[in-house]
Each structure stands twice: as C-alpha cells, then as structure tokens.
C-alpha cells in the first residue's frame, strides 16, 4: 500500500504494549512498542531502525500496511528516540558493536516472553543488526528482510567522512541539526529523491525534525558499530546452516555502492536480492508500496 501524503496512519501509542526496560547484559535501557491486534494470535514481525531514526517516525507506512495481519514489535536502538542515555556507558570512547545490537533484539524478545518471531525487518543499521541476529540467534527468527545494509565497514578513506560527521554532531548543542539536511539528501538522493520530498512535504518535515532531535551520544555510539563490522562471517554461517532461503536482501537502485555490495552479500549467503528502482536509502518510505509488497510476498506464511 503506497504512502499517501498527509494521510499516513500514525503508530498507535494507545494500542498494544509500550515500555522501557533495562537490558540484562548492558547498563542501558530500550524503549519498545509491541502492537498487537486484540484477541488474535498473529505472527510477529520485529522492526529495527536506521541510524538517527525512531520507530514512531520510520515505520508509519509499514505499520499501516501490515497492522491487520501481524503483531509488530518496534524499538529504538540504544540511545535513540525514547531509549534513554546511560550514565554507565562511554558513548564516545567505547562505542557499540553489531553483536551487542543483535543481542539487544534478543533481550527484547526475552522481556516480552516471545521465544520466536516470524520475521525480522531491518533498515540500514537495522538491516545489519538483523543479519547478525540471524547468525547469532537463528532459532529465534524465521525470515529476515535486510534493507540497505552494507557488507562491511566503509572502504579505506570513508572513515574520515564518518569522523567528520561525528565532529559536527558533537560540536555544540545543535550538531545534529546541522547534519539533518545533508542526511536527508543522502537518504533520498537524486531527482527521484527530491521529487518525493517535494511532494510529501509533511513526511519531509517530520523526518527532518526526527534527525534534528536525535541524540548525538546515540549517533556516535552506533557510528562506531558502522565503522567496525564485517558481515562475511555471519553470512557464511547463515549459508552453512541452510538458512539462505530465509533471507531477502533489499536495496534501493540509487543507494550509492550498496547495490553492488548486496549482490556480493547474496553470493556469500546464497540468498536473494531485490533492487527497488529509483529509490534511495530509505526505501520503506520513498517506495513504500513496492517495499511492502516485496516484504509481504516474502514473509507470507
């Protein structure tokens, strides 16, 4: 179901279960929303966010499409959105790893008393989290939709780009606001991206506000994970376990080098890859109709 400008159903805060709990394996708290259709035993989907985003903003079109057929768990990554900061964590020094972020997802399931979910759908950083989750916790998830992940940390030289963003983010109280416009341009590149933002001004403004309000501590902590990961091992493990059919890689045609990276990922894992034409990084919003149909077809029991 394609998004409709100014008429996208909000994530229902009064339905289901919202909570914040302390992780058992780290001095941090995670905010989540478990949207359930009352008195219906539906398959469960877990959604995992991109860097600097929140579940309340990122998944509106997705929830509108799937809310009557699935129960949906959404959560904010550590130090993002409604997941609060932790005094016991060295945000700028230690950083996070994708192994930790994958274990956070497992801890949410433990907290909710859910042994296994039907599908995990992740975007960008959330997609990488999902692939690590499948490799580390295979028995707890059926299908994985990894949208917009890379194979490994940025190529040589790109670290300087990350560090430049970190410097801006941590420079004064308005660092994230300074990064917001350029982030949105990267997320929605080229003429198709500009056209989408121009014709969906309400959604554009909402995304900009989300980016401006993002916590710099969470941004930096998760940047460290993005600077230090390699999915080669997890993807090989997925293939060795015979789980390749359970993984769908999705990428926007205009998302820089990531289409080629995802083709390499598909070869390593022996999984399928789908490329969405004229889409950038945030394909679940820019091309919501195409994205939701792909996911629906792949995860339908």
Q: Mind listing the pLDDT tens digit for each residue in 205-262?
A: 999 999 999 999 999 999 999 999 999 999 999 999 999 999 999 999 999 999 999 9
Q: How many whole angstroms separate alpha carbon 259 and alpha carbon 98? A: 21
Tokens 């289901």 locate to 16
Tokens 């926007």 locate to 252
256-271 pLDDT tens trace = 999 999 999 999 999 9
266-295 pLDDT tens trace = 999 999 999 999 999 999 999 999 999 999
Q: How many whole angstroms separate alpha carbon 108 and alpha carbon 24? A: 10
Assess whether pLDDT exceeds 80 at residue 1.
Answer: no
Residues belonging to the chain: 301
The contacts of residue 204 (CB under 8 Å, 6+ apart) are 184, 197, 198
Q: What is the pLDDT of residue 159?
A: 58
Q: How many whole angstroms separate alpha carbon 140 and alpha carbon 107? A: 11
Tell me whether strands 71-75 and 44-48 are parallel, antiparallel or unpaired: parallel
Tokens 């959560």 locate to 75
Q: How many whole angstroms separate alpha carbon 95 and alpha carbon 44? A: 30
Please name each of the domains of the chain with its CATH number.
17-299 (3.40.50.1820)
Could you tell me where the beta strands, DSSP code E, fall in 80-231? 117-123, 141-147
| Helix or strand holding residue 29 (H, E) | strand 29-35
Q: How many whole angstroms separate alpha carbon 148 and alpha carbon 4? A: 23
Assess whether pLDDT exceeds 50 at residue 6.
Answer: no
């Amino acid at each position: 179901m394609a998004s409709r400008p100014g008429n996208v159903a909000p994530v229902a805060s009064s339905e289901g279960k919202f909570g914040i709990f302390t992780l058992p394996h780290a001095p941090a708290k995670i905010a989540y929303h478990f949207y359930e259709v009352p008195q219906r035993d539906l398959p469960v989907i877990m959604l995992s966010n991109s860097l600097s985003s929140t579940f309340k903003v990122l998944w509106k079109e997705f929830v509108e499409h799937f809310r009557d057929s699935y129960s949906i768990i959404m959560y904010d990554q550590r130090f993002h959105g409604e997941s609060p900061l932790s005094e016991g964590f060295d945000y700028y020094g230690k950083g996070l790893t994708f192994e930790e972020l994958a274990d956070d997802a497992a801890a949410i399931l433990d907290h909710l008393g859910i042994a296994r979910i039907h599908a995990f759908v992740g975007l960008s950083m959330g997609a990488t989290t999902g692939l690590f989750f499948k490799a580390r916790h295979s028995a707890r998830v059926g299908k994985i939709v990894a949208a917009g992940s890379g194979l490994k940390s940025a190529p040589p030289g790109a670290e300087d780009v990350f560090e430049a963003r970190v410097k801006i983010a941590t420079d004064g109280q308005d660092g994230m606001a300074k990064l917001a416009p350029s982030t949105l341009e990267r997320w929605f590149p080229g003429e198709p991206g500009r056209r989408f933002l121009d014709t969906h001004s309400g959604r554009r403004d909402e995304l900009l506000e989300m980016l401006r309000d993002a916590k710099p501590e969470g941004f930096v902590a998760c940047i460290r994970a993005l600077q230090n990961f390699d999915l080669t091992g997890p993807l090989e493990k997925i293939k060795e376990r015979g789980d390749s059919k359970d993984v769908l890689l999705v990428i926007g045609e205009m998302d820089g080098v990531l289409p080629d990276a995802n083709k390499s990922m598909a070869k390593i894992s022996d999984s399928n890859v789908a490329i969405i034409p004229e889409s950038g990084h945030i394909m679940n919003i820019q091309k919501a109709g195409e994205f939701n149909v792909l996911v629906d077809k792949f995860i339908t029991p």
